[in-house]
């Protein structure tokens, strides 16, 4: 989850909503990224979507069987669908998202009969840290000031970094 938080802080530094994701297999980080919709002019460029794309490319497989996703915010419907299609084993998320979340809130995508694969889901991990990061980002946006979050890492997406689940 630490790598996902690094990606979230990097996203905030780029002016993006601070959400970061990391995909891990066998204790090793396969792919990471942070939100980039504004940078890429792409509404689908959520952290989860970008990390899934990177992981599929790295593994040369559309299925991420045996992989776990760590993300700093509860996934939306679009991301939940991609998680299901990629056959991700487990999802660990930090902050719950009552407005846009689709895992434990909203449509509860993985509980729908049309969902072909439902991963194990664990929410609320480092929730207060994620909530504070989001609150600070939006407060800064309202005040017109620069983001007040530190950014020790950028969206490298490098594979092979160790991650402790």
Helix (H) or strand (E) run with residue 156 in it: none
What are the structure tokens assigned to 134, written together?
Answer: 């989001």
Residue 58 has pLDDT above 90, yes or no: yes
Cβ atoms of 126 and 5 within 8 Å: the answer is yes
Residue 163 has pLDDT above 80, yes or no: no
How much is the pLDDT for 146?
53
How much is the pLDDT for 32?
99
SS3 8: helix
Query: What values do phi and psi take at 134, rounded to 5?
Result: -65, -45
Task: Delineate the domains of the chain, giving CATH numbers in brackets.
Answer: 2-143 (3.40.140.10)
Distance between CA atoms of residues 86 and 84, nearest Å: 5
Q: Which residues are catalytic?
A: 48
85 by Cβ neighbours in 10 Å (0-12 / 13-18 / 19+) ranks as: middle
Neighbours of 43 (CB within 10 A): 10
How much is the pLDDT for 35?
98
Distance between CA atoms of residues 126 and 31, nearest Å: 20
Q: Is 117 labelled as part of a ligand binding site? A: no
List, in sequence order, every residue forming a beta bridge with 34; answer none if it has no partner: 20
Q: Is 115 labelled as part of a ligand binding site? A: no
Q: Report the b/e string of 121-152 with b at 16+ CB within 10 A.
A: bebebbbeebbebbeebeebeeeeeebebebe
pLDDT tens profile 83-105:
999 999 999 999 999 999 999 99
SS3 49: helix
Average pLDDT estimate for 113-133? 97
Q: Is 76 labelled as part of a ligand binding site? A: yes
What are the structure tokens assigned to 16, written together?
Answer: 């993006």
């Amino acid at each position: 989850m630490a790598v996902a938080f690094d990606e979230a802080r990097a996203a905030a530094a780029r002016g993006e909503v601070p959400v970061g994701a990391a995909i891990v297999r066998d204790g090793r980080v396969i792919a990471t990224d942070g939100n980039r919709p504004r940078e890429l002019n792409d509404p689908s460029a959520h952290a989860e979507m970008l990390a899934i794309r990177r992981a599929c490319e790295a593994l040369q497989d559309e299925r991420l069987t045996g992989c776990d996703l760590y993300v700093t915010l509860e996934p939306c419907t679009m991301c939940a669908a991609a998680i299901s299609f990629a056959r991700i084993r487990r999802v660990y998320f930090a902050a719950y998202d009552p407005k846009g979340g689709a895992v434990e809130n909203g449509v509860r995508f993985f509980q729908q009969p049309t969902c072909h694969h439902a991963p194990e889901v664990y929410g609320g991990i480092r929730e207060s840290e994620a909530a504070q990061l989001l609150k600070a980002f939006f407060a800064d946006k309202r005040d017109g000031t620069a983001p007040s979050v530190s950014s020790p890492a950028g969206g490298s997406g490098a594979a092979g970094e160790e991650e402790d689940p």
